[in-house]
Amino acid sequence: MTPFFFLRLGRINNKCNGGLLGAIKHNKRELPTPMQVNSTKTHLNYAINSPQTAEDVVSRAETSMAKVGILKTRKNQVLAVEIIFSLPISWHNKNYKKYFEDCYIWTDKTFQVEILSFDVHLDESASHAHAILLPIINGKLRGSDLIGGVGNLRRLAKLFETEVASRYYSNNGSFIIYKQAEKKIIANMVLKKLKKDVVRKSEIWTWVYSTIMREPIECAQLLGLKF
């Protein structure tokens, strides 16, 4: 199975479930444990140069916004940009700490905005990290500008693969970058692959389906899909 190293970019706004606070509570494991989480390993999670609680992270964001005069935000305002760096499910290299440290350094250098939090999760099938960025550019919140379009994503992909990911995988590895909107495309590939699988008729199909929709890349890896 080809190992996939990937990063995903997404927006966090007030319309998201719980907004910025809800997203960070998830990353800090301050919400009820999701089904995909192995709670016996949650104590292995850690943060890099970040506050330890979601409330402290939000307080940091509010302080930084207030300094540039941002006191109110629109309902659809992009409050933060989240980047998820993920290792392959099959990757058991002990250098994961160095990998995520390099991801943190790369994020800081590449985006040049405040990193509100950087949380590493080792309690799911694929080890990964959540970086939450405060997209203040020229005194305004410009999350969409930070992510950019297809051209910028390709630029980021090349930068990250060259400067970080390529140092950790061999010639049979692969690296991809995708936006939150592309999750559905990958999820549909997984569902198509499982069209005639007996799991569709099992009692756990509801859970399997929700897992596919939530983290389709991990499911695609397990099925050996190429995209």
The verdict on residue 192 lying in a domain is no
Q: Are 60 and 116 in contact (CB under 8 A)?
A: yes
Residue 41: CB partners within 8 Å, gap ≥ 6? 122, 123
| Beta bridge partners of residue 177, listed in sequence order | 7
CA-to-CA distance for 115 and 45, rounded, in angstroms?
A: 18
The verdict on residue 187 lying in a domain is no
**∠ CA(28), CA(223), CA(201), 5° rounding?**
90
- Please state the domain count of the chain: 1
The verdict on residue 201 lying in a domain is no
The verdict on residue 186 lying in a domain is no
**Which position has the token pair 């040049």?**
112
The verdict on residue 164 lying in a domain is yes
Q: Which pLDDT score, from 0 to 100, does residue 221 have?
A: 67
**H/E element, 141:** strand 140-141
**What does the mean pLDDT of the chain come to?**
83
Give the CATH number for residue 75: 3.30.930.30
CA distances from 164 to 9, 101, 128, 144 (A): 17, 10, 14, 24
Q: Which pLDDT score, from 0 to 100, does residue 226 have?
A: 62
More confident residue, 199 or 111: 111
The verdict on residue 202 lying in a domain is no
**Which position has the token pair 């495309």?**
185
**Model pTM?**
0.77
DSSP assignment of 27-68, as one string? Answer: HTT-SSPPTT--GGGGGG-EESSS-SSHHHHHHHHHHHHHHT
The verdict on residue 227 lying in a domain is no
- Predicted confidence (pLDDT) per residue in 26-68, tens digit: 999 998 877 778 889 999 999 999 988 999 999 999 999 999 9
The verdict on residue 195 lying in a domain is no
Give the pairing of strands 174-179 and 4-13.
parallel
Token pair of 20, please? 């910025």
- Domain of residue 123, residue span: 4-181
Q: Which pLDDT score, from 0 to 100, does residue 82 have?
A: 92
Q: Are 125 and 56 in contact (CB under 8 A)?
A: no
- Predicted confidence (pLDDT) per residue in 156-210, tens digit: 888 888 898 888 765 444 445 555 556 777 788 888 888 888 888 888 888 778 7
Q: Are 130 and 82 in contact (CB under 8 A)?
A: yes
Q: Are 224 and 4 in contact (CB under 8 A)?
A: no
